[in-house]
Amino acid sequence: MEYKAENIRNVAIVGHGGAGKTTLVEQMLYAAGAIDRLGSVDQGNSHSDFDPQEVRRKISLSASVLPLEWKGCKINLIDVPGYPDFIGDLYGVARVVEAMIIVTPAQDTLDVGFDSAWEVAEQAGLTRLVFVNKMERDNADFPGLMKVLESRFGVKVVPIQVPVGSQSGFEGVYDILEEKVYIGDAKTGKVEEPSADMHKAAEAQIEKMMDAAAEGDDDLALKYLEGESLTEEEIEHGLEVGAENGKVFPVLMGSALNGIGIQSLLDHIVGVVPSPVVKPKQHDGKPIEPDPNAPLSAFVFKTTADPYVGRINYVRVMTGTLKPDSAIRNSRNDENERIGSLAFPLGKEMKPASAVIAGDIAALSKLQYSRTGDTLADPKQNVSYEPIKFPEPIYRVAIVAKSKNDEDKLGSAIARIVDEDLTFRHSRDAEVHQDLIEGMGDIHLDSVIEKLRDKFGVNVETSEAKIPFRETIKASAKAQGKYKKQSGGRGQYGDCHVELSPLPRGTGFEFSDSIVGGAIPKNYLPAIEKGIVDSMSKGFLAGYQVVDVKANVYHGSYHDVDSSEMAFKSAGALAFRNAAEQAQPTILEPILYVEVDVPEEYTGDVMGDLNTRRGRPMGMEMIGVGRQRIMAEVPMATMTKYALDLRSITKGRGRFRVEFRRYDELPHSEQQALISDFKKKRTEEADD
Beta bridge partners of 399: 435, 462
Question: What pLDDT is recorded for position 105?
Answer: 97
In a domain, 681, yes or no: no
Exposure class string for 44-53: b at 16+ Cβ within 10 A, else e: eebbbbbbeb
Q: Are strands 157-159 and 249-253 parallel, antiparallel or unpaired?
A: parallel
What kind and span of H or E run contains 53?
A: helix 52-57
| Residue of 668, 682, 592, 679 lying closest to 637 (CA atoms) | 592
> Are 156 and 236 in a shared domain?
yes
Overall domain count for the chain:
5
Q: For residue 579, what are the contacts with CB-CB under 8 A and spacing of at least 6?
A: 477, 478, 479, 498, 499, 500
In a domain, 16, yes or no: yes
> Are 576 and 593 in a shared domain?
no
| Residue of 133, 127, 84 lying closest to 104 (CA atoms) | 133
Question: What pLDDT is recorded for position 197?
Answer: 83
> Are 62 and 201 in a shared domain?
yes
Q: What are the helix and strand counts (H, E) for the chain?
A: 17, 36
> Are 164 and 91 in a shared domain?
yes
Range of the domain at 308: 286-377
> Are 147 and 73 in a shared domain?
yes
- Please state, in angstroms and rounded to a whole number, the distance separating the CA atoms of residues 551 and 554: 10
What is this structure's pTM? 0.88
In a domain, 675, yes or no: no
> Are 101 and 237 in a shared domain?
yes
Mean pLDDT by 10 residues, the chain (688 residues): 90 95 96 90 85 86 94 96 92 97 95 93 95 96 95 91 93 91 89 86 84 82 79 85 90 96 95 95 94 95 82 95 91 90 90 95 92 93 93 94 94 90 92 92 94 93 94 97 82 95 94 93 96 94 95 95 94 97 96 95 96 95 89 96 94 92 94 92 76
> Are 93 and 215 in a shared domain?
yes
In a domain, 203, yes or no: yes
Diameter of the chain measured on Cα atoms: 115
> Are 520 and 440 in a shared domain?
no
- Please state, in angstroms and rounded to a whole number, the distance separating the CA atoms of residues 646 and 609: 9
- Please state, in angstroms and rounded to a whole number, the distance separating the CA atoms of residues 520 and 531: 15
Looking at 279, 300, 320, the residue that finishes a domain is 279
Task: Using only the alpha carbons of the chain, give its radius of gyration.
Answer: 32
In a domain, 385, yes or no: no
Helix axis angle for 603-612 and 642-650, nearest 10°, is 150
> Are 87 and 114 in a shared domain?
yes
In a domain, 634, yes or no: yes
Looking at 463, 482, 510, the residue that finishes a domain is 463
CATH code of the domain in which 572 resides: 3.30.230.10
| 3-state class (DSSP) for residue 234 | helix
Looking at 523, 549, 583, the residue that finishes a domain is 583
How many beta carbons lie within 10 A of that of residue 11, not counting itself?
A: 21
Separation in Å, CA 186 to CA 24, 28, 198, 264, 563: 12, 9, 21, 9, 93
> Are 579 and 592 in a shared domain?
no
CATH code of the domain in which 341 resides: 2.40.30.10
> Are 458 and 495 in a shared domain?
no
In a domain, 197, yes or no: yes
CATH code of the domain in which 594 resides: 3.30.70.240
| Burial environment of residue 352 by CB neighbours within 10 A (0 to 12, 13 to 18, 19 or more) | exposed
Question: What pLDDT is recorded for position 663?
Answer: 96
In a domain, 383, yes or no: no
Q: For residue 599, what are the contacts with CB-CB under 8 A and spacing of at least 6?
A: 626, 627, 628, 650, 653, 654
> Are 175 and 271 in a shared domain?
yes
